[in-house]
Amino acid sequence: MTGIEEASLERAPLEWDTPLFHTAVSQFEQALPYADVDEHVAERLRYPERAVVVSVPVHLDDGSLRVFPAYRVQHSNVLGPTKGGIRYDAHVTLGECAALAMWMTWKCALLRLPYGGAKGGVRCTPRELSESELERLTRRYTSEMMPVIGPQEDVPAPDMATDEKTMAWMMDTYSMQKGYAVPEVVTGKPISIGGSVFRAEATGVGVVMVIERACQRLGRPLEGATCVVQGFGKVGGVAAQDLVARGATVVAVSDLSGAAYREEGLDVEALLDWSHNQHRPLIERDDCNHVTNEEMLELPCDILVLAALEEQLTAENAPRIKARMVAEGANGPTTLGADSILAERGIPVLPDILTNAGGVTVSYFEWVQDLGRLFWSRDEIRARLGEKMADAFDRVWELSESRGLTLRRAALVVGIREVAEALSARGIFP
């Protein structure tokens, strides 16, 4: 029994102790036997380094005042500043941020980015807030977090319901308090204030880079492969477009309204225009068939890309999945139960911490460009992203083959090893 656990038993449970945090810790425990980690180092990594709770008062447009709970959790700063998104969501908790922060640590380490993991959020219903209310919320949240964020401390990015506008407000608030422009305090900013070209496409393109490499290793050509893409937003939309560019056939895509399906292949460009430019639901297209989101997950295809939200493949539907490969563009779309069923059925799952890491990798490039005040071209960024994704993929694939691990377990082990080695070298202070 460890000190921090004993303390929690004597008093109340620890503040971040939630089911999602338990899932993150269980995955860590399951990976540990393969990671050769010193027990003291492992014990340190079971806990977030810092968890901050603040309350954010906001004057609403109707003159009333509301106070929103808000969080920032930093899991590990062993390798460098912590890095992770800020989400605006009605269900965000300290435990959710702690779990996501831990996953960010493994993801950054797997990609060999000099970062640890963090995650933050404000508990609110963003669609019920006007733009000016969101701006006041963001600016006050940033002010409350001033003591713990910074280019060398903790670098936020967009996540659920936050975007480049949110990052512009954060960058401006931080810069106003410092007295000079500090673009490197956040990533995912507009290009006009130090954002990076190619950041918007990076996650979706990275997903396809990983799929392409997996197809090569498995000896299955991507050209001509049939693909189903759940979620047609920033990640799924770009992934679908890039799959088509590489000669694959996208037979189904979905948004919240349902799925558009055409066995001979969809016109992805037309659907992107419909969905992203005209903001219309896919269900209203009359030139394709429609199935529900649940049904589309079970369509026969070569590659199923999950790019919507968490917990989509479960122990309940995993036995009926007909895809020959699953790629996780979203975070946590496959439950632990579904994972073991898919493994038993021999369906490879390309895990989120590898597959969707293109976003944080180009965020890292954005931070480096901001710090150096020197900006790279689109082609240069795409090439560097390709190198990083291929290198991480190969390390995961080789460990998976040599130790007989699933790709998810191998990805976690590779990430954990990087952090543990650094912590062992540095030692635990004092």
154-158 and 116-123 as β-strands: parallel, antiparallel, unpaired? Answer: unpaired
Interface characters, 272-301, with ligand NAD (x: CB under 6 A): ---------------------x--------
* Residue 385 interacts with ligand NAD (CB under 6 A): yes or no: no
According to CB under 6 A, which one of 72, 140, 213, 234 is a site residue for ligand NAD?
234
Pairing type for strands 289-291 and 50-59 reads: unpaired
Q: Which of 255, 302, 339, 370 binds ligand NAD (CB under 6 A)?
A: 255
- Provide, rounded to whole angstroms, the least separation between the CB of residue 11 and ligand NAD: 33
The CB-based long-range contact list for 66-72 (8 Å cut-off, 24+ gap) reads 68/122, 68/123, 68/124, 68/137, 69/122, 69/123, 70/120, 70/121, 70/122, 70/123, 70/141, 70/144, 71/97, 71/120, 71/121, 71/122, 72/97, 72/118, 72/119, 72/120, 72/145, 72/148, 72/149, 72/154
Range 130-189, binding ligand NAD (CB under 6 A): none
Q: Contact with ligand NAD (CB under 6 A): which of 330, 338, 392, 414?
A: 330
Q: How far is the CB of 177 from ligand NAD (least distance, A)?
A: 27
| In the complex, minimum distance from the CB of residue 47 to ligand NAD, in angstroms, rounded to a whole number | 23
Binding range to ligand NAD, per CB under 6 A, among 27-35, 147-155, 231-239, 419-427? 231-239
Residue 107 appears among annotated catalytic residues: no
Is 231 near ligand NAD (CB under 6 A)? yes
- Candidates 244, 237, 200; CA nearest to 222 is 244
Q: Is 90 in the site for ligand NAD (CB under 6 A)?
A: no
Return d(Cα 14, Cα 9) in angstroms, integer: 9
As measured in angstroms, the least distance from the Cβ of 108 to ligand NAD is 12
Residue 291 C-beta: closest distance to ligand NAD, Å: 12
Residues in contact with ligand NAD, total (CB under 6 A)? Answer: 20
- Residue whose C-alpha is closest to residue 360's, from 117, 120, 36: 117
Torsion sign over Cα 128, 132, 136, 139:
positive
Rounded to 5 degrees, what are φ and ψ at 118? Answer: -145, 165
105 or 254: CB nearest ligand NAD: 254
| Residue 417 · residue 37 · CB < 8 Å | yes
* Binding of residue 359 to ligand NAD (CB under 6 A): yes
Q: Is 48 in the site for ligand NAD (CB under 6 A)?
A: no
Per DSSP, the three-state class of 186 is: coil
- 19-31 vs 407-426: helix crossing angle, rounded to 10: 80
Stretch that binds ligand NAD, among 36-44, 66-74, 120-128, 226-234 (CB under 6 A): 226-234
Q: Closest CB to ligand NAD among 8 and 293? A: 293
| Structural tokens at position 89 | 């969501």
Residue nearest to ligand NAD (CB): 233
Structure tokens at 401: 């083959």
d(Cα 136, Cα 224) in Å, to the nearest integer?
49
- Number of Cβ within 10 Å of residue 139's Cβ equals 18
Q: Are 227 and 248 in contact (CB under 8 A)?
A: yes
From the list 167-175, 305-313, 387-395, 413-421, the region that binds ligand NAD by CB under 6 A is 305-313
- Binding residue for ligand NAD (CB under 6 A) from 27, 105, 241, 254? 254
Tell me how far, at minimum, the Cβ of 389 lies from ligand NAD, in Å.
13
**Residue of 107, 119, 189, 234 marked active site:** 119
> What does the alpha-carbon distance between residue 30 and residue 152 come to, in Å, rounded to a whole number?
32
The DSSP bridge pattern shows strands 323-328 and 249-255 to be unpaired
Residue from the set 80, 114, 221, 233 that interacts with ligand NAD by CB under 6 A: 233
| Nearest distance in Å: CB 171, ligand NAD | 18
From the CB of 15, what's the least distance to ligand NAD, in Å? 23
Q: Which sign, positive or negative, has the C-alpha torsion 227, 230, 236, 237?
A: positive
Tokens 């401390």 locate to 153
Using CB under 6 A, which of the segments 224-232, 319-327, 390-398, 414-422 binds ligand NAD? 224-232
The only residue of 93, 173, 356, 361 in contact with ligand NAD, by rule CB under 6 A: 356
**309 lines the binding site for ligand NAD (CB under 6 A):** yes
> 310 is written with which tokens?
């968490």
Using CB under 6 A, list all residues that contact ligand NAD. 203, 230-236, 254-256, 293, 307-309, 329-331, 356, 359
Residues annotated as catalytic (active site), given as ranges: 119
